[in-house]
């Protein structure tokens, strides 16, 4: 009887699981290709989210869909985990700035237009020039955001945040 129950459950349970959870559940529970090793990341310098952070160096895979907003000039991306705002200037130049608002330290509510980032928290705008840089959470309501060094090699953007 125990053997018959086990056989029944092994045949019926996958069908029931499929009916309730769909194919993605079964794929998530399926066995790997048999190598015993995880599938390699297509870009070993970045994680599946398209970037990695190692100390003060941020490496971005520009082909990752998470970075489609900076595929053309004028596009920007707020990379919260790395505390940087990325701004595409041209086909071969991306600038990076501190995403911490100089006024009160907000980092999540940015927009970009007319060479200025505007913090949605209080509406203060900050430029992208390297002069008159104002620090994070300093109470400043104008000035320029702190910039970071960037370089592009192929489809990889490297940012140094120090």
Evaluate whether 82 touches 88 at the Cβ level (below 8 Å).
Answer: no
Instruction: Please give the average per-residue pLDDT across 70-97, as a whole number.
Output: 97
Domains of the chain by start residue, with CATH = 1-30 (no CATH), 51-160 (2.102.10.10)
Evaluate whether 117 touches 107 at the Cβ level (below 8 Å).
Answer: no
Range 121-130 contact pairs with CB under 8 angstroms and sequence separation of 24 or more: 126/101, 126/102, 128/87, 128/95, 128/97
Mean of the per-residue pLDDT values for the chain? Answer: 81
Checking if the pLDDT of 106 tops 70, the result is yes
Q: Kindly report, residue by residue over 42-59, the tens digit of the pLDDT.
A: 444 567 899 999 999 999
Q: Kindly report, residue by residue over 118-154, the tens digit of the pLDDT.
A: 999 999 999 999 999 999 999 999 999 999 999 999 9
Its pTM stands at: 0.72
The first and second tokens of residue 30, run together, are 């399926």
């Amino acid at each position: 009887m125990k053997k018959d129950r086990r056989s029944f459950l092994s045949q019926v349970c996958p069908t029931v699981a499929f009916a309730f959870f769909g194919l993605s559940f079964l794929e998530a529970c399926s066995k790997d290709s048999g190598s015993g090793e995880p599938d390699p990341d297509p870009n070993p310098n970045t994680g599946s989210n398209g970037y990695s952070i190692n100390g003060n160096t941020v490496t971005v895979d520009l082909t990752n869909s998470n970075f489609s907003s900076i595929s053309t000039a004028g596009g920007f991306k707020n990379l919260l985990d790395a505390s940087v705002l990325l701004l595409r200037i041209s086909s071969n130049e991306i600038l990076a700035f501190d995403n911490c608002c100089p006024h009160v330290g907000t980092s999540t509510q940015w927009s970009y237009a007319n060479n200025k980032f505007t913090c949605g928290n209080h509406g203060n705008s900050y430029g992208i020039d390297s002069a008159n840089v104002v620090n994070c959470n300093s109470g400043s309501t104008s000035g320029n955001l702190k910039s970071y060094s960037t370089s592009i090699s192929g489809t990889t953007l490297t940012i140094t945040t120090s």
